[in-house]
Amino acid sequence: MIVRFLCQKLRQSARARVARPAIGGSAPTPQARKRLESIVVMFMDGFEAGLGGADMREKSVGVVRELLGFWFEGAAMGVVLRDWLMPWKRAR
C-alpha cells in the first residue's frame, strides 16, 4: 500500500536528520547540546510511533517523564500526518 510505503520513507528520512551532527551545533555548552539532542530524539520516537499507528500508552512507557511532552508532540504530528495520507474522504 502506498501509505505504508510513504510512512516508512518518512521515518527513514526523519532518523537520518536526527543523526546529523548539526543538531545542537550552536548550543553554548556540551550539556545543552546533549539536552537538545535528547529532545529531538524523543520527538522523533513519538513521531515514528504516531506514523506507525502503535499503541501510544505501550510505546510511551519507557520515556523519561521530563521528556514525555516532546514525545507526545511528535506522536501527535505523526498521527495527523498518517491521517492526512490515508485515502478516505476529508469531509466529515
User: Does pLDDT of 81 surpass 80?
Assistant: yes
- Which band of pLDDT confidence, cut at 50, 70 and 90, is reported for residue 16? low
With contact defined as beta carbons under 8 Å apart, do 71 and 63 qualify? yes
Q: What is residue 92's three-state secondary structure?
A: coil
Give pLDDT tens digits for 64-74. 899 999 999 99
- pLDDT for the residue numbered 11: 64
What whole-number distance in Å separates Cα of residue 10 and Cα of residue 87? 17
Euclidean distance between the first and final Cα of the chain, in Å? 24
DSSP assignment string, 18-71: HHSTTTTTT-SSHHHHHHHHHHHHHHHHHHHHHHHT--HHHHTTTS-GGGHHHH
> Domain residues of the chain, as ranges?
2-17+31-85
pTM, to two decimals: 0.70
